[in-house]
Amino acid sequence: MNKPLTGDEIVEKRANLLDCAMAILEKDGIQALTLRRLAEEAGVSRQTPYLYFKDKAALVDAMRIAGLNRLTGVAQAAVAGVEQQDLIEQLRVVGETYVRFGLENPAVYKLVFTPIRPDEPPTPEHKKAIEANQNVAAARMKSAWKEGLLALPPDRLNNVFWAALHGLISLRNEGLIADGEIFEQIRSDMDYVLACGFIERQEK
């Protein structure tokens, strides 16, 4: 008789299955992802994935949350190395991190930001992941606004900031912007334009 798994072991096995599912997603796309394929790739019995995800929809929702948490984690780690008082540089690093994540993990990035089924509201876990992700930039925008560093209030700035980032990532991942110098120039120019539009300028 197999020994029952501890709570930590259950969490670890679920995380391993999610990592495997994301690898399948990036390699072959969402249509290739099934619980049977997941079991084969993970080297477990066909029934094992069903112990953690009741169906493919539950697996995809869990992947969306895991991907969002992963993106939040890398963004938080990136800004941790920036001087705390340099809020504008922190925002630039957040944007840079999101672009890099989106380009290196295109399928996961698309999944994370694909709207969930309209007839079902976000689960508490998903809502928590969304709020944590949004707060990486929002908290710094609010602080920069209080210090008089921004020309736009945080709620308006946040919309433009994310629209610009997601637009750039989507255009690149769809092949509508070539990789290399052209893409890097557009990204550099976008950083400049956003900064000039967002940063409060002194009257002369």
Neighbouring CB atoms inside 10 A of 188's CB total 10
A 10 A CB-CB count for 184 gives: 10
CA distance 82 to 90: 6
- pLDDT, residue 59, reads 95
- Which is more confidently placed, 4 or 12? 12
Q: What is the pTM assigned to this prediction?
A: 0.85
Q: How far apart are CA 169 and CA 100, in angstroms?
A: 9
Q: What is the pLDDT of residue 201?
A: 63
What pLDDT shows up at residue 188? 87
> For residues 179 and 186, is the Cβ–Cβ distance under 8 A?
no
Write down the pLDDT at residue 204: 44
The confidence band for 2, taking pLDDT boundaries of 50, 70 and 90, is: low
Q: What is the pLDDT of residues 147-187, one digit of tens each?
A: 998 888 999 988 898 899 999 999 999 989 887 888 889 98
Tens of pLDDT, residue by residue over 37-91, are 999 999 999 999 999 999 999 999 999 999 999 999 999 999 998 887 788 889 8
> In the CATH hierarchy, which fold is given to the domain comprising 63-198?
Tetracycline Repressor; domain 2 (1.10.357)
Q: Which fold has domain 1-53?
A: Arc Repressor Mutant, subunit A (1.10.10)
Asked if the model's pLDDT at residue 1 lies above 70, the reply is: no
CA 196/CA 204 separation, integer angstroms: 16
CA gap 38, 21 in Å, rounded: 6
Percent of the chain with pLDDT over 70: 95
Does residue 3 have a pLDDT over 80? no
As a whole number, mean pLDDT of residues 84-105 equals 89
- Decide if 1-53 and 63-198 have a common fold: no
Delimit the domains of the chain by residue range: 1-53, 63-198
